[in-house]
Amino acid sequence: MCFFGNGSNANPLPYEAIFNFGDSISDTGNADKTHPPFPSNSPYGSTYFKHPSGRLSDGRLIIDFIAKAYGLPFLPAYLNLTKDQDIKKGVNFAFAGATALDYEYFIKHGVDMPATDKSLSIQLGWFKTIKPSICKSKEECDGFFKKSLFLVGEIGGNDIIAHLSYRNVTGLRELVPPMVEAITNAIITLIEEGVVELAVPGNFPIGCISGVLTVVNSTQKDDYDQFGCLIGYNTFIEYYNGQLKQAIETLRQKHPQVKIMYFDYYNDARRLFQTPQQYGFTSDKNEIIKACCGASGTYNVNVYIPCGSPATTVCPDPSKVINWDGAHFTEAAYKQIAKGLVEGPFVNPSLESPPFKIA
């Protein structure tokens, strides 16, 4: 059935809904629902929301900037949904600490357990639970999904972190096939549910992330590039991303009716470390790889004293740095990464043209 004369559809938005799966890079409140709340004076959320907002940054995340660029509200966290809440503009299933691989994998391999068991497959289960509230018949779902964007990730960073202390950078490669398979299976599941437009991010240059730099703590000068990033760990991520892209290409061949975009988080973020001043960040090479919020040490990270603890400090201007707390980026960095996706060259194929600029 079609209704004409509805003013709200006079200028339809490119995407009428966004659904997101992932970890703390895009969680807007799911983990927050199950953990003790941050104190009101916590530095998390301080830049934009002026209070903790369920996000592990000082402000907005990539997903927030993408939603706003397409004229949509911030995505509600699945676990925060109320009984009669309208979910027709999207839902966020991402959960901080989530992994691509299921919890059982980590038990079986005897490595550090992830912070949560809310892995990608659990998040897909949540989506299936609320799907009947979004659309009933196949026809209705097909019509709805035709105008919806699904983001699968970034996810996998926590899988890698769990193995950091147990494997050298070469040994990490053993993780790649099962991780890529888990993400591939998630995409196939969504396609079977009727989804026709998906974006799949690769992973960041983890060799530039202050927490990884702290944990690895290499004393070999040759292990670092000219920007102070760990070469081996960035090379590993390039390898992982390459395998993920191959898997996406295979899926494209099998499902030509589905648009599967690759989000190049690696190069989108790496440019910020290479020419920080071009994007409004400090040009100080030592400061740019330090965490803004942390305790002490070369990179202002102490894994036993997290950001917000009494012994930590916050840098004077988070908008001038990339690393927020050792594991996550600042709002300023996420904004630049989002611009690189929505307005720039770091998506293949391109997203629909956004009605609003990221400002």
Q: How far apart are CA 267 and CA 67, in angstroms?
A: 22
Active-site option among 24, 46, 57, 119: 24
Rg of the chain over Cα atoms, rounded to whole angstroms, equals: 20
Residue 255 falls in the annotated catalytic set: no
Q: With helix as H, strand as E and coil as C, how does 32-85 read?
A: HHHCCCCCCCCCCCCCCCCCCCCCCCCCCCHHHHHHHHCCCCCCCEHHHCCCCC
Say which residue the tokens 């591939």 belong to: 184
What would you measure as the largest C-alpha separation in the chain, in angstroms? 68
- Going by C-beta distance under 8 Å and a sequence separation of 6 or more, which residues neighbour residue 88? 16, 17, 134, 144
On the CB side of 157, CA atoms within 13 Å amount to 26
Active-site entry in 35, 268, 328, 353: 328
Between CA 42 and CA 293 the distance in angstroms is 11
Check if 328 is active-site.
yes
Residue listed under structure tokens 């840098």 = 315
Catalytic choice (64, 319, 325, 353):
325
- Is residue 130 a contact partner of residue 79, using CB atoms and an 8 Å limit? no
One-letter amino acid at 187 equals I
Please give the DSSP secondary-structure letter assigned to residue 223: G
Which helix (H) or strand (E) segment is 244 a member of? helix 231-254
The helix (run of H) or strand (run of E) holding residue 18 is: strand 17-21
Residue 119 appears among annotated catalytic residues: no
267 Cβ neighbours under 8 A, 6+ residues apart: 346
Active site residues: 24, 325, 328
